[in-house]
Amino acid sequence: MTATVDTLRGTTPPEPGGRPAGRAVTVRVGRVSARFRWRSVVVPVVALVVVVLLAAVSLGRGDYPLGVADVLRTLAGAGEVSQRFVVLELRAPRTLVGVLVGLAFGLAGALFQTFARNPLASPDVLGITQGASVGAVAAIVLSGGSAGALLGGLGVPLAALLGALVAGALLFALAWRAGLDGFRLVLVGIALWTSGNALTDYLLTRAQIYDAAAAYVWITGSLNARTWDQAAQLGISLLVLVPLALAAGRVLGVLQFGDDTARGLGVRLASAQAAVVVVAVLLVAAAVAAAGPIAFVALIVPQIAVRLTGGWRPPLLASGLLGAALVTVADLLTRTVLPEALPVGILTAAIGAPYLLWLLVRGRRTTA
Amino acid sequence: MSLPSATRAPAATPGTPAAPTAAGARTARTRRRTLGLLALLVLVVAACAASIAVGTRPLGLGTVWDALTDRSLRTEEAVIVWDLRVPRTALGLLVGAALGVSGALMQGHTRNPLGDPGLLGVTAGASFAVVLAITLFGVGTPAGYVWFAFAGALAGTVAVFVLGSAGRGGATPVTLALAGSALTALLFALVRAMLVTDSDSLDAFRFWVVGALAGRGADVAWQVAPFIAAGLVLALLNAPALDLLGMGEDVARGLGQRVWLARVVGLAATTLLAGAATAACGPIAFVGLVVPHVVRAFTGPSHRWLVPCSGLLGAVLLLSADVLGRVVARPGELQVGIVLALVGSPFFVALVRRRRTTTL
């Protein structure tokens, strides 16, 4: 079988502002052909490489630094007991949870923003992570437990999962009216966010200050003391959800043309819309239970991804991988450079936000 | 200006039954708007009366009237009315109107249904400044936060506008919204970085961030009143220009509108109003976002009606939520920001579901 690759310049439709969309490639395998733009291929590949490298570095760095050789030896099953403990029991699950959570938030953000055709429509804004926060803060504040409950990893993650699922179900049920309209979804989501935020703030004012401080760390999103159990649960969920999300992404491309066109092209509108939103909600729920609502990843990363790839809408895969890269690098910095162990959610925002601002200031295009 | 599809609300579908004549439709619309405006005015008076009468110590309307009309009375009731309830009601009136109007302006200028004063960095800037006031200067009272919060809100908005318009395309609704959310992300990251390591500051901040009218008093109302008044005047002046801008910047320019002037005036008004409101009460999320959507249901998209009616409804909403907060949690009270969110959200969802929301 022979594959031919044509490199064409300037044949892709010009973007608003008259700029060509960049170089495109057509790949033909027998009778099947597909067209890619270079940047939409290069960006995810680079992001994946960056994630792998960062994760590798992350395993070696921290309060107890190890060389690359030591890390590799430990991963291969050799190495001292203390090294094995640090790498395999402390850093590996934490790193893995970080990568997976970033992936899930990036994907979910891209799904929501594309579906609602609004760059502000992310799970942070639509109230799903707020639902999780209500659940978690209630578990921390009302049970009288404190940091113990937080780290024990039993009550709080389940409460968060439940909260996210309830919020997602409410979002779905209240926005559904013979189909989901992006505009209505956003307005209902805002209402959910507002109630969730008020409940969280209220619980924080009613709490003992010690509990409030613990809850505040959770709200920010932290990867401290993640376990293999959490990594495994999240990993299994994502094994199912990521392929579904990528499949939903294909339908999403058609939905962009508007309801009537999509219907005309043979899409079963209601079930396609439902699939996109349900997958996105489940991604958020799985991630938020594992690490808390790591702030702003789902909001910022898809917008960074769309600017890097130069496409029309947030690309799914690139958003997911860039999300993973952002969370991993933020976690690495919290454990190495910074004097005090800050929750990772602070760093994701502190890195991602200026980068998005820089892209905006430098940027030529205003497509979301 | 070609508006990016991302913020354009779905277009109204054609095929809605046309009114018999254009003139008939216009009269019907004018009647609906006038009735709506009158109803809002009545509601404002009723909300003020309720806000003065209801509280831990309920007062009869007759008592309230006597205390209000006869300043020589020094009964306990008169003291409650003049020293506690009237300043609080006045502040609620000011802040509610400010939030409603700034929301209407914000949604008009960004053409985003999520347009909320918080979007432009107001809440984030104010929060950041308040946390600085707490951690660095040891400020601990609502009156002490006012100037910090106001300065932070102004700085946040200016920063968002500068960043959002620095790109090659200049300021567009999308770049402004994104610059706003990015700056919000950054500032809240800094806020959290300061608070997770300092539980004393968190202890003060958590009571500011819920948003409340309680414990402010007349001095806070006097501090913010000039700014809110100036903002309201600018907003009313800006409304006709906003209607022109709604047709697209090129059309507006062709019709003789100085686009940049309209944008600057709108931004100044929004900043003054939302900044002063946040400075006085803390962040109150719901009013600016929801009120314009509700008002649009009877005014239609014309900002000449939308802006003043949003102010009135904002005041009604804030005052009634405050009254409700005093009743439901006796003998304590529930902060107005929380009541608004919990009562307002279901109402808003019902509204969104009941009718096709008037698009921007």
DSSP A176: B
- Whose CA is closest to A275, among A162, A124, A115, A117? A115
Note the ipTM here.
Answer: 0.74
Nearest to A300 among B169, B185, B192 (CB): B185
Across the interface, whether the CB atoms of B206 and A220 are under 8 A apart is answered no
- pLDDT category at A13 given cuts 50, 70, 90 is very low
Alpha carbon distance A308, A367 (integer Å): 12
- pLDDT category at A258 given cuts 50, 70, 90 is confident
Q: What is the pLDDT of residue A185?
A: 84
Residue A263 contacts B where some CB pair is shorter than 8 Å: no
Which chain B residues are within 8 Å of A174, Cβ to Cβ? 349, 353
Cis peptide before B331 (omega within 30 of 0): yes
Across the interface, whether the CB atoms of A205 and B167 are under 8 A apart is answered no
- pLDDT category at A103 given cuts 50, 70, 90 is very high
Residue B13 contacts A where some CB pair is shorter than 8 Å: no
Residue A178 contacts B where some CB pair is shorter than 8 Å: no
* Residue A325 CB neighbours (<10 A): 25
What average pLDDT does this structure show over B20-26?
Answer: 70
Residue B172 contacts A where some CB pair is shorter than 8 Å: yes
Q: Given the structure tokens 């502000």, which residue do they identify?
A: A120
Q: Are A321 and A55 in contact (CB under 8 A)?
A: no
Alpha carbon distance A194, B268 (integer Å): 26
What average pLDDT does this structure show over B54-61?
Answer: 78
* Residue A33 CB neighbours (<10 A): 12
* B43 pLDDT higher than 90: yes
The two structure tokens encoding residue B32:
């609906």
Sign of the dihedral defined by the CA atoms of residues B202, B206, B209, B214, in that order: negative
Nearest to A183 among B113, B193, B335 (CB): B113
Which helix H or strand E contains A5, and what residues bound it?
strand A3-8
Lowest mean pLDDT among A242-246, A288-292, B142-146: B142-146
Q: What is the pLDDT of residue B189?
A: 84
Q: What is the pLDDT of residue A236?
A: 92
CATH number of B27-121+138-146+211-354: 1.20.1250.20, 1.10.3470.10, 3.40.50.720, 1.20.140.10?
1.10.3470.10
Nearest to A357 among B168, B182, B209 (CB): B182
Q: Are B354 and B337 in contact (CB under 8 A)?
A: no
A141: three-class secondary structure by DSSP: helix
Contacts with A32 (C-beta within 8 Å, 6 or more apart), sequence order: none
Q: What is the pLDDT of residue A345?
A: 86
Long-range contacts at B198-205 (CB < 8 A, ≥ 24 apart): B198/B135, B199/A209, B199/A210, B199/A212, B199/A213, B201/B131, B201/B134, B201/B135, B202/A209, B202/A212, B202/A213, B202/A216, B203/A209, B203/A212, B204/B134, B204/B140, B205/B127, B205/B130, B205/B131, B205/B134
CA distance A4 to chain B (A): 36
Q: What is the pLDDT of residue A271?
A: 83
Long-range contacts at A265-274 (CB < 8 A, ≥ 24 apart): A269/A179, A270/A178, A270/A179, A270/A180, A272/A248, A273/A115, A273/A179, A273/A180, A274/A172, A274/A176, A274/A180
What average pLDDT does this structure show over B34-55?
Answer: 88
Residue A150 contacts B where some CB pair is shorter than 8 Å: no
Q: Are A128 and A260 in contact (CB under 8 A)?
A: no
Comparing A8 with B199, the larger pLDDT belongs to B199
Condensed to tens digits (0 to 9), the pLDDT of residues B65-121 reads: 877 787 777 777 777 777 788 889 999 999 999 999 999 998 888 777 666 776 678
Alpha carbon distance A288, B85 (integer Å): 44
10 Å CB burial of residue A74 (0-12, 13-18, 19+) is buried
Across the interface, whether the CB atoms of A212 and B193 are under 8 A apart is answered no
Lowest mean pLDDT among A168-177, A291-300, B110-119: B110-119
Q: What is the pLDDT of residue A22?
A: 58
A363: three-class secondary structure by DSSP: coil
* A291 pLDDT higher than 60: yes
Which chain A residues are within 8 Å of B357, Cβ to Cβ? 183-184, 187
* A74 pLDDT higher than 70: yes
Domain boundaries defined on chain B: 27-121+138-146+211-354
Across the interface, whether the CB atoms of A364 and B206 are under 8 A apart is answered no
- pLDDT category at A143 given cuts 50, 70, 90 is low
CA distance A280 to chain B (A): 19
Contacts with B185 (C-beta within 8 Å, 6 or more apart), sequence order: A295, A296, A299, A300, A349, A352, A353
Comparing A16 with A146, the larger pLDDT belongs to A146
Condensed to tens digits (0 to 9), the pLDDT of residues B176-222 reads: 777 888 888 888 888 888 888 888 888 888 888 888 888 787 888 88
- Whose CA is closest to A67, among A95, A94, A86, A48? A86
Q: In chain A, positions 66-95, which contact chain B (CB-CB < 8 Å)? A: none
Alpha carbon distance B309, B293 (integer Å): 11
Find which of B5, B107, B187, B196 to mutate to test the A interface (most A CBs within 10 Å of its CB): B196
Across the interface, whether the CB atoms of B163 and A361 are under 8 A apart is answered yes
The architecture of the domain spanning A40-62+90-362 is: Orthogonal Bundle (1.10)
Q: What is the pLDDT of residue A107?
A: 94
* A305 pLDDT higher than 60: yes
* B261 pLDDT higher than 90: no
Domain boundaries defined on chain A: 40-62+90-362
Condensed to tens digits (0 to 9), the pLDDT of residues B152-170 reads: 988 998 888 888 877 766 6
Q: Are A341 and A224 in contact (CB under 8 A)?
A: yes
Across the interface, whether the CB atoms of B197 and A197 are under 8 A apart is answered no
- pLDDT category at B173 given cuts 50, 70, 90 is low
* B14 pLDDT higher than 70: no
Q: What is the pLDDT of residue B42?
A: 94
The two structure tokens encoding residue A325:
């890269």
Would you list the DSSP string of B233-269? Answer: HHHHHHHHHHHHHTT-HHHHHHTT--HHHHHHHHHHH
- Whose CA is closest to A284, among A275, A273, A293? A293
Condensed to tens digits (0 to 9), the pLDDT of residues A319-336 reads: 999 999 999 999 888 888
- pLDDT category at B16 given cuts 50, 70, 90 is very low
Across the interface, whether the CB atoms of A368 and B4 are under 8 A apart is answered yes
